[in-house]
């Protein structure tokens, strides 16, 4: 959504998997964790979204403006649904 991708490729899935794996710390790996803790799911999801969106721009399937890496992460976070936000707050 962040990049307006016209398709999701197998390579995008690989990037998502690698980005997920990169979020697991060495300390977590030492105790047998394969995934980051659920408490960090929003940050992990944002990192994955930004990585896949940047790849969409690199591969030419993006239809939305390109952002730099740090800006893409902030943009992805701005698109994320917040279940704790007040829906009536403007």
pLDDT at residue 85 is higher than 90: no
43 close to 74: Cβ distance less than 8 angstroms? no
How many folded domains does the chain comprise? 1
Residue 24 placed within a domain: yes
Residue 41 placed within a domain: yes
Residue 28 placed within a domain: yes
pLDDT at residue 90 is higher than 70: no
Summarize pLDDT for 26-65 with one digit per residue, the tens.
Answer: 999 999 999 999 999 999 999 999 999 999 999 999 999 8
The whole model's pTM is what?
A: 0.88
Residue 53 placed within a domain: yes
Residue 85 placed within a domain: no
79 close to 2: Cβ distance less than 8 angstroms? yes
Residue 90 placed within a domain: no
Residue 5 placed within a domain: no
66 close to 4: Cβ distance less than 8 angstroms? no
Distances (CA, A) of 79 to 8, 39, 42, 89: 18, 19, 12, 16
- The boundaries of the domain holding residue 44 are 11-79
Residue 62 placed within a domain: yes
Exposure of 87 in the CB half-sphere (CA atoms within 13 A): 2
């Amino acid at each position: 959504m962040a990049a307006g991708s016209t398709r999701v490729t197998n390579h995008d899935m690989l990037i998502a998997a690698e980005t997920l794996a990169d979020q697991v710390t060495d300390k977590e790996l030492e105790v047998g964790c394969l995934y980051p803790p659920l408490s960090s799911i929003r940050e992990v999801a944002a990192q994955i979204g930004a990585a896949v969106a940047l790849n969409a721009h690199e591969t030419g399937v993006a239809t939305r403006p390109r952002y730099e890496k740090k800006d893409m992460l902030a943009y992805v976070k701005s698109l994320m649904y917040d279940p704790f936000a007040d829906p009536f707050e403007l």
